[in-house]
Chain A
Amino acid sequence: MRRCALPGLLAACLLAAPAAAAEVTQARLDNGLTVIVRENPVAPVVAVSLLVKMGTRWEQPATAGISNFVHAVMVKGTARRSGSELAEAVAALGGKISATGDMDDSEIRASALARFWRELLALVAELALEPKLLPAEVDVERDFLLSRIQKRRDNAPARAFDEFFAALYGQHPYALPVLGTPESLARVDHAAIVAAYREGYRAARMILGVSGQVGAPEVLAEARRLFGGMPPGGAVPEPVSPAPLGPGRRVAIEMPAQQSQILLGGLAPSLEHPDHAAVKVLSTILGGGMAGRLFVELRDKRGLAYTATSYYDPVRGPGALVLYLGTAPGNAARAEEALRREVERMRRELVGTEELRRAKGYLLGRYVMDRRTNERQAWYLAFYELEGQGRDYPARYRQAVEAVTASDVQRVARQYLGTVTTLVLGPR
């Protein structure tokens, strides 16, 4: 039992900050655009994440998917080059560039060999500031998006998650699929795309994160040159969102597939809520890794699934804590019951010391590992700023997780999984 010898060492053994210390520099341009640069000497690469406050949070059912739609059209060409010329220019840097919409934000994401950081940043700026947004491209991209929507509808896990969020969030915009719906995309025309772009791309709504083998002063100067001329734009209006429907529904959907999908969960606190860390720990105890309860109880002990996990993503709120598994249709009823029992157990029993320690170790270890690549770092830098958390968030988060007690976990299990929404999707 090698494990028994370890606990004394743990505090020192848990994954800590990267050995190669990275410098982070932050500046706010006069027009309000925030630039954050992380100097990371590890590899000769650079990653850029330009986040903009536009996403489903600001959308209505009639305009669902417009944020993502705008970005799909943006990459199809700028004032200086066509879509294919843009693709070639990026490839020549050993790079990639993409633009997508999400819930709280939209992102232009780019990466390349570090020696081309200047060219890469210029391409990001070109895309953000001078997209062509041609009417013909709007129609073409609509067809591609409709095709992607169909792909999601044909894919059992993807469709199950879409249906689950629709059931859980009800009238709240987080219920809307990021890709939109065939009905909403049909209504979004060229004028709407241009208007949404103009509304979103204002300096005060944008955060630029850069991470890689670069010098911060040079990147800041270049960012100022490229983005400094943007008009500031007004303050970001907070959307007035209807309250989510609230949990408690059970939805069953028929769909031909080999596996049945089962999702069960509830509304959960936002990233900034004091309960966020406790719910992260709760989520990890249930569905984190191969020692998580769902994996052990439902997969290892009962063979009910290949994937048995939980999700709790940081959002402005309200968040969602979701337990998920895919299983043979004949086992669906038993699997759903087993998931419910695990939730009930969390509400009823205090988690043991050792299990709590394992969950925190796993959660914080994954968090450190996830922030090792420059692409993730660029995104994290920009995302925490966008969510109003600032650069000390990782340290605060770590402290908050370490402070979570067994009774905190039980309390949040009772509070956020007191009533759950259930979705079962599968063959008849």
Chain B
Amino acid sequence: MAHASTGLVAVLLAGCAVGAGSPMPGPGSASPVRTVLPNGVTLIAQEHRASDVVALQLWMRVGGRDESPDELGLSHYLEHMLFKGTPTRPPGAIDDLIEGLGGTSNAFTSYDYTHYDVVLPAGQVRAGLELLADIGVNASFPADELEREKKVVFEEMSLVEDDPEKYLGRRLNELAYAPHPYGRPILGTRELIQPLTRERLERYYKKRYVAPSMVLVVVGAVSPREVQALAEVTFGRLPAIRTARPDAPLPPAIDRSKRQDVSRAEKQAYLGLAWRGAPNGDEDIYAVDLLTTILGDSPSSRLNQTLRERERLVASIEANYVASAKAGLVTITARLEPQNLERAEAAIREVIRRVRDEGVTEAERQRAIITAESGYAFDIETAEGLAKSYGQAETTWTLEDELAYLGRLRQITAAQIQAVARKYFGDANYARVRFLPEAAK
């Protein structure tokens, strides 16, 4: 898996995310073309002729980390409201347009960015760009729609809470990062969303949704030149309002105080551990990525072989690495019987200790690299998969780094993997969330 894909979907995103990205060139053109329009909008375009579709994605350099404490959840709320309409597009018109063409739309919110995407027939690239530019600055937030959507967001909160794996990911992320902005609830809280007014949301929108915050990614059966021309007459016409993105502080260190037990209705227990990893842009991300794969990416991984297959301590276990712009987190999550909680946690520590002490094998290193290569190769099957990797890279580090990722990954040695195990993965510097069955507590 590419370093910031699975984990993001599992842990951080609010919305209906699917798929993952890759920076391998697809058929049609060798590499993406990146330009910055005079008003500050970043445009990334690539030809991809696998099918007659085009993926158009608007990535806002706005997310949960940019909210002040009393703005919690507004990035996500905007994500819900943008497809509702503009002065020229009444409620429902956007969905009718996209779906009537056989297209789809999707959106999700993270701490570093907010993402809107549509997939349309290739001939509709202009209509798609006009739509995204329109909702990017002209969303009208009808008052009655805004009120009704509160209930939908509350339902989303409940839905996440009912899903133990998703909820464990959220709780673990929040505990590991708190009080850093990465550790706040991405959906906000009922208390903050309930009194939300149209004026307040619009103020946030006008402040953050400005041209320099926009990254437009277009991948599909269209030439970058054509995309560039169309982007200039749509996104290029948005006002050039300058803005400074609030700088996120460094997250606090994790220590033994980060422990949380949650009583739940499920009969099984869930265990989540989280270590601080390297942020995107850091030179350690390559080795941490490979180490995470070796630890818990597949049935052949060390955690799976040790805790599931050999010691029978867990029913399932996996490791994920989410490298965000300002910090990174490696999580290990497992489903198990409550009586095995202590032994499983000790066994996880022991698996990691062995990597610290003895390193990894050359075969493991090679398998981890080929796993990453394969993840990238599968992602270029679809235009939207490729576009997603570009947008994510542009908003959390750089497109250039993303394109060089696989090459750099291949250079990492087993000794470097062992070194990051020693640097990041201690016996005490992890956060822990446990879901305990009510009866067992």
Which A residues are closer than 8 A to B by beta carbons?
1-3, 6, 9-10, 12-20, 41-45, 83-84, 87-88, 90-96, 111-114, 140, 143-144, 147-148, 150-151, 153-157, 255-259, 288-291, 295-296, 299-307, 326-328, 354, 357-358, 361-362, 364-366, 368-369, 372-374
Q: A291–B102 contact, CB under 8 A?
A: no
Segment of B157-165, B325-333, B395-403 engaged in the interface with chain A: B157-165
Residue from the list A42, A96, A290 in contact with B99, Cβ < 8 A: A290
A296, B93: Cα distance in complex, Å: 11
B240 located at the interface, meaning its Cβ lies under 8 Å from any Cβ of chain A in the complex? no
Interface positions of B from 352 to 388, Cβ below 8 Å from A: 363, 366-367, 370-371, 373-375, 377-378, 380-382
Q: A154–B155 contact, CB under 8 A?
A: no
How far in angstroms is the closest Cβ of chain B from A428?
Answer: 13
A-B contact pairs, 13 of them (CB 8 A): A3-B96, A19-B51, A91-B298, A113-B377, A154-B266, A295-B95, A302-B148, A303-B155, A306-B155, A328-B154, A358-B96, A365-B102, A372-B51
A346, B337: Cα distance in complex, Å: 47
The residue of chain A having its C-beta at the shortest distance from the C-beta of B298 within the complex is A91
B92 located at the interface, meaning its Cβ lies under 8 Å from any Cβ of chain A in the complex? yes
Q: B374–A84 contact, CB under 8 A?
A: no
Q: B162–A156 contact, CB under 8 A?
A: yes
Which B residues are closer than 8 A to A by beta carbons?
26-27, 49-53, 83-84, 88-89, 91-93, 95-105, 119, 121, 123-124, 127, 130, 145, 148-159, 161-164, 221, 265-268, 298-300, 304-305, 309, 312, 315, 335, 337, 363, 366-367, 370-371, 373-375, 377-378, 380-382
Residue from the list A3, A43, A144, A289 in contact with B378, Cβ < 8 A: A43
Instruction: Count CB-based A-B contacts (< 8 Å).
Output: 232
**Chain B residues touching A, majority SS:** helix
How far in angstroms is the closest Cβ of chain A from B36?
Answer: 28
Q: A45–B50 contact, CB under 8 A?
A: no
Q: B161–A258 contact, CB under 8 A?
A: yes
Q: A45–B381 contact, CB under 8 A?
A: yes
Q: A13–B121 contact, CB under 8 A?
A: yes
How far in angstroms is the closest Cβ of chain B from A161?
Answer: 14
Which residues does chain B contribute within 8 Å of A299, judged by CB atoms? Answer: 152
A305, B367: Cα distance in complex, Å: 43
Which residues does chain B contribute within 8 Å of A2, judged by CB atoms? Answer: 88-89, 97, 127, 130
Which residues does chain A contribute within 8 Å of B367, judged by CB atoms? Answer: 88, 91-92
Given A19-B50, A259-B155, answer yes or no on A87-B373 (Cβ-Cβ < 8 Å): no
Residue from the list B98, B267, B315, B381 in contact with A372, Cβ < 8 A: B381
How far in angstroms is the closest Cβ of chain B from A244?
Answer: 29
Q: A368–B335 contact, CB under 8 A?
A: no
Which residues does chain B contribute within 8 Å of A112, judged by CB atoms? Answer: 374
Q: A361–B99 contact, CB under 8 A?
A: yes
A147, B316: Cα distance in complex, Å: 10
Which residues does chain A contribute within 8 Å of B83, judged by CB atoms? Answer: 290
A102, B164: Cα distance in complex, Å: 25
Q: A373–B381 contact, CB under 8 A?
A: yes
The residue of chain A having its C-beta at the shortest distance from the C-beta of B315 within the complex is A147
A41, B49: Cα distance in complex, Å: 11
A19, B298: Cα distance in complex, Å: 34
Q: From A42, A144, A305, name the one whose CB has the most chain B CB atoms within 10 angstroms.
A: A42
Q: B335–A151 contact, CB under 8 A?
A: yes
How far in angstroms is the closest Cβ of chain B from A15?
Answer: 4
Which residues does chain A contribute within 8 Å of B161, judged by CB atoms? Answer: 258
